[in-house]
Structure 1
Amino acid sequence: MRRKSRAVLRKSGLAPSGPVYGRLVDAGRSLPIPAAARVAVSTAVLRRPWKVPVRFDKLLVGAQGGWTAREFADRTGDMLWPSTPFLDGPHVGLLRLADEHADLTDEQILGSAYGRLGLRCIEAGGTYFGGADEAGVLAAARAFVARYRGEEAPGAAPRPQQSGPQDPVLVAPVRGSDRFQILDGHHRLAIAAMSGADGASVVAKWLPVTTPLQDLLLKMSWLDGTHELYQPIDAPELETGWTTVRQCTDRLAKMDAFLAERGVSGGRYLDVASCYGWFVSQLAGRGFEAEGIERDPLAVPLGKAVYGLPDGVISTGDAVEFLGGHDEGRWDVVSCFSLLHHFVLGRGSVSAEELIRLLDRATGRVLFFDTGQDNEKWFAESLRGWDPARVERFLRENTGFDEIVDLGPDEDARPPYEDNYRRHLFACVRKA
C-alpha cells in the first residue's frame, strides 16, 4: 500500500521528487501575508538555525524582482534562468565588466546581462529595485558597482527590494543535486566572489526547491518520475542525482565516421522518436537540415530550452502516421533508435515489419538503426532470439537497402544498467 501511494504521488507530481512539488513550495513562499509576518515565520520555522558554508560554484541564480526563480522564469519565458550558475550570471558579469572599464557607459550597462535582467523584470510587469525604466536600471547598476568599488555613500538608504545590512544571504537546496538556489543576496555574493572569496556562509532553508527544467523532465511520458536522462543535457542541477542512461555520443561518433567515409556531408535528416532532440541539434550543427518526430509534446519546449532548437523542427505525434504522410526518400539520412522492439512486443499501431518498411521508404541514402536485443536482462525472455545477427537478417528481409553494415554496440551498459543495452548500431545504405 505504501509503495502504491508513492506511485500515485509521483504520477500526480506531488511527491517530493515530482514536478508539482516545487510549485507548491514556491506557492508557500508567495502567500499574500504581511512581509514582516512572512519573514518571522520563515526565520523561526523554515530556515536552518545555523549558517552553512557554500562554495560559489555550487550556487544557482534565483529570485528576482520580488518573484521566486520559477515565477521569474515563467514570466520571462526563460526556463533555464534557475539553472544558471551564479558565477556565470549577470551580477558577477557586471562586476567583471566594471573591472575592465573604469568608466562604464550607459550603453555598456544596458547591453550587459545585468542591464537586460533589470529590463526583463520591468517588462515582466515589475520593477527593478524600484526602477521602472532604463534610468532606474542604470541607477541600480551604478549603485551596485559603487558598492563593489567602496565608493558607496556612507549611510545611503537601501533601495526598494534591497536587503538590509542585517539580513542574511538566503539560499535553498535544489532537490536531487548538490546545488543551492539563491533566494536573497545575489549582489553581496557577487561582491564577495569578485573580491577573491570562493564561498560564503549562508542561511539555508529546510525545504528544497526544484528547477523548471527538473520539473519538465519529470513530466516526460517515458520517465515516470525517475531521475534519468535519455539524452545528454548540460545543466548543473542534473550533474549529480540524475543518470544519463543513453550516452548518445558513442552512436554519434559512429555516425560521423560512417557518413564521412561515404561522403555524406549534408542534406535532410530525420530522427524518429527524437526524444529531447539531441541528435537533431547535433546533425543541424553539422550542416544538415535536421528535424525530428516525437510523441511527447513536452519535447518541444525542452529541446528549445536546452539545445536552442528553433520552432518547427520537432513535430509531435505518431511516428507511423508521420512517416506515412511524407514522400518516398524525403530524407537523405534517417535515424531510429530503440523504437522497433516496442513494435516487436506488440505495443505499436502496426507490425515491426511495417515500421521498418516505412523507415526504408523515408530514407534516401542512409538509415541508422538500433533496437532492443536479447542480451539485455529486461528482454532476455520477451525478445529471445533477437541478437545482432537476427536484427541484421530482419533488416535484409524487410527492406530494400543495398548494404547493411553492423557498426558495433553502444556503450550504455554501465551502472545501474550494466546488464542491459549494448545494442548494435546498423547503417542501412542505399547506393546512389
Structure 2
Amino acid sequence: MRRARRLLDDGIDLVRLRLDTLPEGLYQPVPGLPVRKARRAVGSGSRWAAMEPVIERLGVRSAVDIGANVGYFPIMLAARGIPAVALESDPRHVRTTTTAVRRNRLDNVAVMDLRLRPDTLGLLPSTDCTLVLSLWHHLVREQGLDTATQLLRELWARTGKVMLFDTGENEMPESYGLPDMVPTPDAWLREYLEKNCAGARIEHLGRHRAFDADGLPTDRALFAVIREPS
C-alpha cells in the first residue's frame, strides 16, 4: 500500500512538473528532475563553482537562499551536508523545489513559501550563509530602492559568515528603477555592499552568464560579502 501510494504521488508530481515548466523549461539545472532544458544552466554552474570554495573555506554550516527559484543552490548545499532553507514565492517554483528535494532524497532542505517584505523578514532564520542571487533588482522594482536597501541590511544582520550576492545591472530597463551604476556596475555594487553591510569584506567572484528582461544573454558580477571577525 505504501509503495503504491509513493508511485501514485510520483506520477502526480511528474504531471505537475511538466505543466509547471511549460513552455520555458527549468530556469536552473536542478539534479534529479526529468526536464532537459534549463535556461540558466551555464550561469548556475559557474556561480556554484565560484561560491563553493568560499563556502568550504568559511566553514558554512547553514544557509538560506532568498528567491530560490527551483532550488538548485539549496539542493547543491544540502548535497554537501549543509542544511538549507529555500525561500520562494512563485507557487510553480515552490512545487518544483519540493519535488526536487523529494526526488533527491534530501532531509536537510526546508522549502518556505513566502515573499520577502519588511513585515515577513522576521520569519527568516539566522544562518551562516545567505544567498541573494538575481533578486535585488526585483526588490527595487516592486518595493523601491529604500526598502530594498533596508531588506539587504536586515538580511546581512542575520548572516553569520557570508552573503553571496548578484543582481541585474545597467542592462535592466528604466521600469526597474535601478540606480545608474557608474563608473561600472562592479565598482558601484562593491561600494553599495560595503556601505550597507557593516563589518564586511567584499570579494569579487567573477562575472557570470545571466539574462536581461527580454531574455537576451548578459553577464553579472558575483560578490562574496564576508563578515570579518569582531
Q: Which amino acid aligns with 1:290?
A: A
Give the equivalent residue in structure 1 for 2:62.
268
Equivalent positions of 1:242-281 (< 5 A) are 242-245=37-40, 247=42, 248-260=44-56, 263-281=57-75
Using the aligned pairs only, state the percent identity. Answer: 26
Aligned partners of 1:348 and 1:310: how far apart in 2?
34
Give the equivalent residue in structure 1 for 2:79.
285
Contact 1:229 1:246 in 2 (8 A): no
Contact 2:75 2:109 in 1 (8 A): no
Select the residue among 158, 175, 200 that pairs with 1:402: 200
Q: Which amino acid aligns with 2:223?
A: F
Aligned partners of 1:404 and 1:315: how far apart in 2?
28
Alignment TM-score, normalising by the size of structure 1:
0.44
C-alpha RMSD over aligned residues: 3.1
Q: Which amino acid aligns with 1:304?
A: T
Aligned partners of 2:179 and 2:11: how far apart in 1?
43
Select the residue among 327, 331, 355 that pairs with 2:127: 331
Aligned partners of 1:395 and 1:352: how far apart in 2?
12
Give the equivalent residue in structure 2 for 1:158.
none
Alignment TM-score, normalising by the size of structure 2:
0.79
Give the match's secondary structure for 1:364.
Answer: strand
Select the residue among 204, 207, 217 that pairs with 2:21: 217
Contact 1:73 1:79 in 2 (8 A): no
Deviation of 1:410 after TM superposition, in Å, equals: 0.8
Equivalent positions of 1:162-173 (< 5 A) are none
Equivalent positions of 1:69-108 (< 5 A) are 76-79=8-11
Q: Which amino acid aligns with 1:317?
A: L
Deviation of 1:336 after TM superposition, in Å, equals: 0.8
Rate the CA distance shift 1:380–1:407 in 2: closer, same or farther, 3 A.
Answer: farther
User: 1:49-94: CA deviations, max 9, x gaps?
Assistant: xxxxxxxxxxxxxxxxxxxxxxx99981114786xxxxxxxxxxxx
Deviation of 1:228 after TM superposition, in Å, equals: 3.8
Quick check: 383-392 or 251-260, which moved more?
383-392
Rate the CA distance shift 1:235–1:313 in 2: closer, same or farther, 3 A.
Answer: closer
Deviation of 1:334 after TM superposition, in Å, equals: 0.8
More strand by share: 2
Aligned partners of 1:397 and 1:421: how far apart in 2?
26
Rate the CA distance shift 1:228–1:388 in 2: closer, same or farther, 3 A.
Answer: farther
Select the residue among 212, 227, 234 that pairs with 2:24: 227
Aligned partners of 1:235 and 1:313: how far apart in 2?
17
Deviation of 1:212 after TM superposition, in Å, equals: 3.3
User: 1:117-167: CA deviations, max 9, x gaps?
Assistant: xxxxxxxxxxxxxxxxxxxxxxxxxxxxxxxxxxxxxxxxxxxxxxxxxxx
Q: Which amino acid aligns with 2:155?
A: L
Deviation of 1:304 after TM superposition, in Å, equals: 2.9
User: 1:23-71: CA deviations, max 9, x gaps?
Assistant: xxxxxxxxxxxxxxxxxxxxxxxxxxxxxxxxxxxxxxxxxxxxxxxxx
Rate the CA distance shift 1:216–1:337 in 2: closer, same or farther, 3 A.
Answer: same
Select the residue among 259, 272, 295 that pairs with 2:89: 295
Give the equivalent residue in structure 2 for 1:422.
219
Rate the CA distance shift 1:404–1:235 in 2: closer, same or farther, 3 A.
Answer: closer
Contact 1:246 1:412 in 2 (8 A): no
Deviating beyond 6 angstroms after TM superposition, the runs of 4 or more aligned structure 1 residues are 72-75
Select the residue among 170, 173, 176 that pairs with 1:379: 173
- Are 1:314 and 2:111 counterparts? yes
Aligned partners of 1:310 and 1:79: how far apart in 2?
21
Deviation of 1:430 after TM superposition, in Å, equals: 0.6
Q: Which has the larger radius of gyration?
A: 1
Aligned partners of 2:13 and 2:95: how far apart in 1?
14
- Are 1:238 and 2:35 counterparts? yes
Deviation of 1:264 after TM superposition, in Å, equals: 2.4
User: 1:74-115: CA deviations, max 9, x gaps?
Assistant: 981114786xxxxxxxxxxxxxxxxxxxxxxxxxxxxxxxxx
Unmatched 5+ stretches in structure 1? 1-71, 83-210, 219-225
Give the match's secondary structure for 1:280.
Answer: helix
Aligned partners of 1:264 and 1:338: how far apart in 2?
23
Give the equivalent residue in structure 2 for 1:353.
149
Give the match's secondary structure for 1:275.
Answer: coil
Deviation of 1:236 after TM superposition, in Å, equals: 8.4
Larger relative contact order (CA 8 Å, sep ≥ 6): 2
Deviation of 1:256 after TM superposition, in Å, equals: 0.9
Rate the CA distance shift 1:324–1:259 in 2: closer, same or farther, 3 A.
Answer: same
